[in-house]
């Protein structure tokens, strides 16, 4: 009887030890699946931009917005670029969640305000916002060939429900907005806004 308890303990320890490799394998598999899911979002965004660049060129040629794929619910409106950073992205019509998954979108604003507001995700198309500096130039080229250059003049961080487009922007402005903080892994009520005024 005195040997039964230690032997049972040894058998239990052996069973636990045999489960350890399986447990590590399961955790590794879960981690790999999560990593693949996280990597898929930027990969999808990059692939979409290739198709959107083609659609933008087709839109320039035809003079009207061309869908990047047949079932898309958006089309290219413009192309923005930040020469100093070597960044560029196709701006899409509509502000739906699907559109924002593939590129920056233009938010509806009063044309009389003189302000164009573009929104995109902080971890894909507007990840470059964290590297912008005062004085940086941002160009916007529309599908009709019109090209406008803006200079970054300010930054703001505020809650999404506190962001409002002024009725009069005292000139033509481009506002780039994305979620904040940049490294946040969850939804945030904060938005980072870049204000750039038209030059030339």
Strands (DSSP E) contained in the chain are 76-82, 87-92, 105-107, 115-119, 137-142, 147-159, 173-180, 190-199
Per-domain residue ranges of the chain: 41-199
pTM exceeding the 0.95 threshold for the entire prediction: no
Q: Cα–Cα distances in Å, from 24 out to 11, 33, 35?
A: 21, 14, 16
Buried b (16+ CB within 10 A) or exposed e, 139-174: bbbbbeeeebbbbbeeeeeeeeeeeebeeebeeebb
3-state secondary structure of 15: helix
Cα separation, 165 vs 106, in Å, equals 13
The answer to whether 89 and 78 have CB atoms below 8 angstroms apart is no
**130: pLDDT strictly greater than 90:** yes
pLDDT-above-70 percentage for the chain? 70
CA dist 121 and 183 (Å) reads 12
Span 151-165, average pLDDT: 85
CATH classification (class only), 41-199? mainly beta
Give the pair of three-digit tokens for residue 151. 């200079």
Q: What is the pLDDT of residues 55-79, one digit of tens each?
A: 999 998 988 888 888 888 888 999 9
Q: What is the SS3 assignment for 199? A: strand
Question: pLDDT value at position 96?
Answer: 60
Q: What pLDDT band is residue 7 in, cutting at 50, 70 and 90? A: very low
Tokens of 16: 């636990």
């Amino acid at each position: 009887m005195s040997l039964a308890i230690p032997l049972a303990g040894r058998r239990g320890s052996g069973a636990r030890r045999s489960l350890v490799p399986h447990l590590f394998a399961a955790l590794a598999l879960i981690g790999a699946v999560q990593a693949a899911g996280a990597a898929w979002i930027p990969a999808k965004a990059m692939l979409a931009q290739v198709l959107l660049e083609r659609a933008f060129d087709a839109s320039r040629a035809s003079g009207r917005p061309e869908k990047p794929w047949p079932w898309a619910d958006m089309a290219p409106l413009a192309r923005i670029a930040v020469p100093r950073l070597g960044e560029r992205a196709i701006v899409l019509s509509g502000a739906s969640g699907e559109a924002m998954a593939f590129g920056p979108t233009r938010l509806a604003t009063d044309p009389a305000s003189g302000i164009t507001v573009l929104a995109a995700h902080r971890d894909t198309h507007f990840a470059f916002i964290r590297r912008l500096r005062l004085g940086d130039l941002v160009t916007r080229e529309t599908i009709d060939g019109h090209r406008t250059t803006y200079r970054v003049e300010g930054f703001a961080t505020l809650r999404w429900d506190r962001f409002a487009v002024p009725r009069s922007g005292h000139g033509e402005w481009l506002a780039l907005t994305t979620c904040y903080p940049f490294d946040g892994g969850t939804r945030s009520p904060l938005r980072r806004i870049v204000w750039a005024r038209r030059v030339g």
